[in-house]
Structure formats: C-alpha cells, structure tokens
Amino acid sequence: MSIPETGKAASGSLEILSGINETNKAILEFIDKTISRYDICVDSKTPSFVFNNNEIRKRFIDFKDKKKGNIRYIVEITTDNIDFCKEIMTAVDLRHIQGLKGVSRINETEYQYHVVIDDLKQDSILIRSNSKEIVNQQQVVFESLWNKAIPARERIEELQHVEMRLKVGPEDGIKEENYNIENTIHRILENINGFGQTEVKTLGKEKIITQDPNYNKRAQQPTPKKLQLWSNSSGSEYAICLEGESNFLAATKESPLTQYTDLVEEADYLEDLKYDWEYTLKHWISNHNH
C-alpha cells in the first residue's frame, strides 16, 4: 500500500508505505540519495534486522567507504543485541540511549519514521516526508539526543563487566547475601541514573559506589513534562498543552464554549527545541486521524 501526499506542510509531501518490500525499498532509496549526513535513531530490535539484511548492510558500508559519508547511529544497546552492535560499529558512529521506540532516519532532504508491526512476518509501516520544516525540526531533535547519548564502547564495556561479574559469582571472603545486596544496589542506582554509569566495587567488607560526574546533575533535574493532545467530547476540535498546565499552547477553536476534556495522545517535550505550536497541532491531528 502506498498513500502519496497524505498531507502537506508548507512545502514537500508526506507518504505512508507498508509491507516489507516497500519499506525496504524506501530505506535503500534513502541511503542512495544521502550525500554525507545520515542520522538514525532506533530501538533495541533494529540492529539484528540491519545485520541480517544484506542489501541494507552493503549500502551502509558503501556509503562510508565510497561516499566517505558519516552515519551517526543511536540505539539502545542490550545484552541481546550487543554482538550486532559490535558488527554495526565497523560502519557507523554508534551511541546508546535507553528506552527508544521505532526507527527515525534523517538526511539532508528527507525524514523517515519506521515501525515494525509484526516481528515474525517482518511487516512494517514507514512514514516519510521531504518537507523542509519537518526535516529541519527532526535534525534539531536528533542533535539533542546525540549530545545526551553514551558512546557505544562505554556501554558495551559496562555490559560485559556486569556479565563477567555474574558469571564469576561472589568473591572470596564475601558472603552470598552480601553479594546479592551488592547487585541489588547496583541495579537500583543504575535505574536512577538512567544511563548505566554507576558501578559498585567491593574491597574486603567495604562497598565503594562510584558514579559519572553528571549523575548528581541529572538526579536533581525535574521529570520532563509531556506534550499532550486533547479533544472535545465529540472529537471535532483539538488543542495541545504541556502536562500539568491548564493553558493551551494552540487550539483549533479558541472559545470559552469549547471544552477540551479528552486526552488523546502524549509525546516527549524537548525544552531546548523551538516549536511552532499551530504547525505542531496541525500535523499531530493529521497523523492521529490517519
């Protein structure tokens, strides 16, 4: 299925593709027309898909070796995909962020968002746009994520260190229950940190907790707000606001008689990104209705 130009954003078009053949073709076309900038942000399942797809893998290598291009690749690196990530590192500049969903690709002229619907059947949907406004906005979003991401080698070394400790078991002279407590502390601190930079070391009977220099800074930061899409009871009018705030940033109908009572969707709000709220509302409604 191909639905060309389902919406227009000041300039350019929006296209929705479905099925493994169509989405693969769109990915290959994306790589082929990329000049030098190729940025991609993916969830933890995607590296294995890339590794097993010879055409995409070959395009990655050709883009780097023949075009001398640079691929910046953000992924959630886990124990399940660590081998695939090591392989991909030969062709891309790899970094780690936890909790990513779907796949986003951005080059000089196009933005793609790719979602796998069925892993077994490899059924997927891909949305792509060459709208200048959308491409520019997503480039800003990626830069923000890239600056916060952890270099892949650091994350891989951490996972290998944890795996080795689990295989070795309790160290000599440490009771089993103390070892279990140590691992529990490690997991709690790792979850608080969010980026897996905390390490617990045992020296004799004393435990020393070390953390990255930005840990306290991040821990003191408030929980990021969500951007929310609301509608009236009939679903005919929409408005957007920040989570916990009563003032709407944009609305399809600004009238005291219009009550926005139903929360429709939520999305991450990046404070360092400059939003055109009317533009954001318009395209959020368009994506929601399609």
Q: State pLDDT tens for residues 217-256.
A: 554 556 678 889 999 988 899 999 988 887 889 999 887 7
CB distance 243 to 199 below 8 Å: no
pTM of the model: 0.53
For residue 200, give the nearest of 191, 192, 209 by alpha carbon.
209
Distances 265 to 106, 230, 239 between C-alpha atoms, Å: 24, 7, 11
The reported pLDDT for the residue numbered 201 is 46
CB distance 66 to 37 below 8 Å: no
The reported pLDDT for the residue numbered 165 is 60
The reported pLDDT for the residue numbered 107 is 94
Q: Alpha-carbon distance 212 to 195, whole Å?
A: 10
pLDDT at 206 over 50: no
pLDDT digits (tens, 9 = 90+) for 79-107: 888 888 888 887 789 999 988 888 899 99
Neighbour tally for 180: CB within 10 Å: 11
Tokens standing for 279? 């533009």
- The one-character DSSP state at 8 is -
Q: How confident is the model at residue 120 (pLDDT cuts 50, 70, 90)?
A: low
Q: Tell me which residue has tokens 């030098």.
A: 36
pLDDT at 12 over 70: yes
Domain ranges of the chain: 2-153, 174-220, 226-289
For residue 46, give the nearest of 81, 9, 20, 13 by alpha carbon.
81
Neighbour tally for 197: CB within 10 Å: 19
- The one-character DSSP state at 119 is T
Strand partners, 74: 41, 95
For residue 146, give the nearest of 175, 113, 104 by alpha carbon.
104
The reported pLDDT for the residue numbered 112 is 94
Say how many Å lie between the first and final Cα of the chain, rounded.
14
Distances 204 to 4, 188, 208, 210 between C-alpha atoms, Å: 66, 22, 10, 16
Strands 123-129 and 150-151: unpaired
**86-91-94 Cα angle (round to 5):** 60
Helices then strands, each counted (H, E), the chain: 9, 15
Strand partners, 71: 38
Tokens standing for 167? 């295989």
What is the average per-residue pLDDT within 254-271? 83
**160-221-243 Cα angle (round to 5):** 110
CATH code, residues 2-153: 3.30.870.10
The reported pLDDT for the residue numbered 20 is 81
Q: Which of 14-23, 123-132, 137-146, 198-207 ranks highest by mean pLDDT?
A: 137-146
* Residue 85 region by backbone torsions, left for phi larger than 0, else alpha for psi between -120 and 50, else beta: alpha
pLDDT at 203 over 50: no
What is the average per-residue pLDDT within 205-219? 50
